[in-house]
Amino acid sequence: MNAYQALGGEAGTAALTARFYDLMDSDARFAALRATHGASLDYARERLFQFLSGWLGGPPLYEELHGHPRLRQRHMPFVVTVKTRNQWIACFAQALQDTAAPPEWAVAVVLRLFALADWMRNQEEAKYPPPQPPMAADIAERVPELQAVLAEYGLADFLVLAE
């Protein structure tokens, strides 16, 4: 079984994507993240669903329709800071909880997404080291940082769900 199957296949990925953007659009914790998007989230919803489908191990919809994701390049026109990264990953963790994703899979997905989201940062911030490619370090080394981020957004128990 892969993450795509564990999260419910196409229907589960669609529900997760919808919940993620619904939270971003309505939850004050994610206001700064929401402000980085346009008036409508429809385009972003469609593209994230397509990306997640393949990234989680399902049909590679994004690549079939748009080619290689080139995520870092595609995010360069947008300001991606530590704050927006943190809100993005917290919003995603909340969406995984809200859609009742199996805890062991939710944790595994968030750990991988945290490394990926960090790689999208494109602003120099003196207090923070520059982003590293997702596979540059053992993800286990990033767990304390991720725990602190999730705790800041009221999700302190998220990473212990799979224990």
What are the boundaries of each domain within the chain?
Answer: 3-160
Report CA-CA distances (Å) from 91 to 1, 124, 130, 138: 25, 23, 23, 23
Q: Residue 127: its pLDDT value, please?
A: 93
Q: What is the reported pLDDT for 126?
A: 92
The predicted structure's pLDDT at residue 161: 52
Which pLDDT score is estimated for 23?
A: 98
| pLDDT < 70: residue spans in the chain | 161-163
Q: Are 47 and 54 in contact (CB under 8 A)?
A: no
Instruction: For tokens 């870092």, name the residue.
Output: 72
pLDDT at 159: 80
pLDDT digits (tens, 9 = 90+) for 63-92: 999 999 998 988 889 899 999 999 999 999
Confidence at residue 162, expressed as pLDDT on a 0 to 100 scale: 47
- Interhelix angle 9-26/82-98, rounded to 10 degrees, is 130
Architecture of the domain whose range is 3-160: Orthogonal Bundle (1.10)
